[in-house]
């Protein structure tokens, strides 16, 4: 039986930059591996660690298009959707969809990290 999920790995062109983004977003720390500069992890926050992996020729997913599908996305619980949106944008995220502007009662918004991976901030 599998004991736990060790990490979620995100492909990207610049693993240090992407790890720094998520470390700042989540209040974690960047853990570089000197023997493997193409693999950088983010630790020190509640939840499964994130890993950022350099991929030659990386192409960001298209959202919502399917020519280069997202394949996965990350959801983060927040207590203050507006405040966390402002913080995520200041760190380099971009808005993909403001679901609250599409319909009343939406409690999440969709963003892209600096490498283009979609993620959601979810008010719970």
Segment 64-74, tens digit of pLDDT: 888 888 888 89
- Torsion angle of alpha carbons 95, 100, 105, 111, nearest 10°? 0
pTM of the predicted model, to two decimals? 0.85
- Catalogue all structural domains in the chain, each as residue range(s) with its CATH number: 6-56 (3.10.180.10), 73-123 (3.10.180.10)
State the Rg of the chain over Cα.
15
Task: List the one residue out of 51, 39, 37 whose CA is nearest residue 7.
Answer: 51
Burial class of residue 13 (count of CB atoms within 10 Å of its CB; 0-12, 13-18, 19+):
middle
Q: What is the mean pLDDT of residues 76-85?
A: 92
Question: Parallel, antiparallel, or unpaired for β 29-32 and 74-78?
Answer: unpaired
């Amino acid at each position: 039986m599998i004991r736990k999920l060790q990490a979620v790995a995100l492909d990207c062109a610049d693993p240090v930059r992407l790890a720094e983004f998520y470390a700042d977003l989540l209040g974690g720390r960047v853990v570089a591996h000197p023997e493997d500069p193409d693999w950088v992890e983010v630790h020190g926050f509640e939840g499964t660690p994130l890993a950022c992996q350099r991929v030659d020729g990386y192409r960001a997913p298209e959202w919502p298009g399917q020519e280069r599908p997202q394949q996965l996305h990350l959801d983060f619980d927040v207590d203050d959707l507006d405040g966390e949106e402002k913080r995520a944008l200041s760190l380099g995220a971009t808005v993909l969809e403001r679901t609250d502007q599409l319909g009343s009662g939406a409690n999440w918004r969709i963003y892209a990290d600096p490498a283009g991976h979609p993620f959601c901030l979810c008010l719970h």
